[in-house]
Amino acid sequence: MGERSNLALYPGSFDPMTYGHLDLIRRSRRLYDRVLVGVAHGHHKQTLFSVEERVAMIREACAGIDGVEVKGFSDLLVHFARREGACVIIRGLRVISDFEYEFQMALTNRKIDPDFEVVFLMPSEQWSYLNSTVVKEIARLGGSVEQFVPPVIARRLAEKLGKA
């Protein structure tokens, strides 16, 4: 990925960001000088929020964490990482099925770019069950999501789903 820096890239769709994602951003920040949250355009899945909306929400949710930057991207992850000068990619692992998918993606990306390095982090136990799909379903059905997502996300979910 080019010259070495101490920038970690944490990519994802973050549709929406959860406290589990925020936990990994904070923990990554303790390991690396800077963390770039890369918000994927989401070619392979339909997203509730646009890239611009997700970037804005994540920036607001991460406002109090020094050394965190947020950018959207729509090209290959390895190309985005190289362009931004990331030394490592951070990926979260909650369950065994996450490992199978992430392992396959890491090896494929390493084929594209042999310098591609991935660090897998497990979320804190309290967030190990949490994912964006579950949060969206709770919000769609009128449930409270405040315990799962930062306030800005809860507010935007309610607005987007007409539950505000």
AA identity, residue 107:
L
Give yes or no: 82 in active site.
no
Q: How many whole angstroms separate alpha carbon 59 and alpha carbon 36?
A: 11
Give yes or no: 44 in active site.
no
**Strand 7-12 vs strand 68-73: parallel, antiparallel, or unpaired?**
unpaired
Catalytic residue (one of 94, 140, 155, 160): 94
Sheet (strand 68-73) strand order = 68-73, 34-40, 7-12, 88-92, 118-121
Catalytic residue (one of 30, 43, 44, 45): 45
Q: For residue 4, what is the DSSP state?
A: -
3-class state of residue 53 by DSSP: helix
Give yes or no: 132 in active site.
yes
For residue 19, give the nearest of 107, 124, 157 by alpha carbon. 124
Catalytic residue (one of 28, 91, 132, 156): 132
Cβ(106)–Cβ(91) below 8 Å: yes
Cβ(101)–Cβ(21) below 8 Å: no
77-84 and 96-112 helices, crossing angle to 10°: 70
Give yes or no: 21 in active site.
yes
Catalytic residue (one of 21, 34, 54, 156): 21
Q: Cite the active site residues.
A: 21, 45, 94, 132
